[in-house]
Amino acid sequence: DAIPYNAALLLKKGVPVCINSDDAEMGRRLNHEAAKVLRYGGAELGLDSLEAWRTVTVYPAQALGIAHRTGYVKEGYDADLVLWDRPTPLSVYSRPLLTFVDGRRLYDASREEARSAEALAEKQRLLEKAWKAAQEEAKGPPLLLRRAVLWDCEDLPSQSAPAR
């Protein structure tokens, strides 16, 4: 359970290990969880990256009894696909280039770069506009400053004392 070497030890003994999460954030990074199989004992035990990858694909599908339609990249199977920028998605440095869910492209890194550039340009334009407005306001009439009034306890009449 909380022993990081469990998955590798069980896989080496032939037990199909399923790695999953009900946490949305960890669910987005199951490739890192699969990589931990190799990091924590898998490499020393002779496990390869394909076996580690099966812990988040094939074995969960088999455990759920749906391996006849998902868990593999095969024609006619349900699959959400990610194209990575590195040879292995098990690297913490891997970044998704394309993501397809139910046959629809949901993420495209090149489009996101263009959107980021557009957002940065708009931010710059708005900052320049605000800067110009502040400069114009500074050219207006000077602010009138009033001397602060300091009050003391004796400045206000009390109910017991007669008014001055």
- Rg over alpha carbons for the chain, rounded to the nearest Å, is 31
Report phi then psi at 45, rounded to 5: -90, 0
Assess whether 91 and 105 both reside in one domain.
Answer: yes
Assess whether 63 and 103 both reside in one domain.
Answer: no
pLDDT digits (tens, 9 = 90+) for 137-158: 777 766 666 777 777 777 766 6
Domain count, the chain: 2
The Cα 12–Cα 17 span in angstroms is: 10
Assess whether 43 and 99 both reside in one domain.
Answer: no
Q: Examine the fold and report which residue of 57, 74, 91 is the final residue of a domain before the chain moves on.
A: 74
Assess whether 117 and 67 both reside in one domain.
Answer: no
Dihedral sign for Cα 47, 5, 27, 68, please. positive
* Burial class of residue 120, CB neighbours in 10 A (0-12, 13-18, 19+): exposed
Q: Residue 45 sits in which domain range? A: 1-74
pLDDT digits (tens, 9 = 90+) for 81-100: 999 999 989 998 999 999 99
Residue 162 lies in a domain: no
pLDDT digits (tens, 9 = 90+) for 10-58: 999 999 999 988 888 888 889 999 999 999 998 899 999 999 999 999 9
pLDDT value at residue 59: 96
pTM score of the predicted model: 0.66
Residue 156 lies in a domain: no
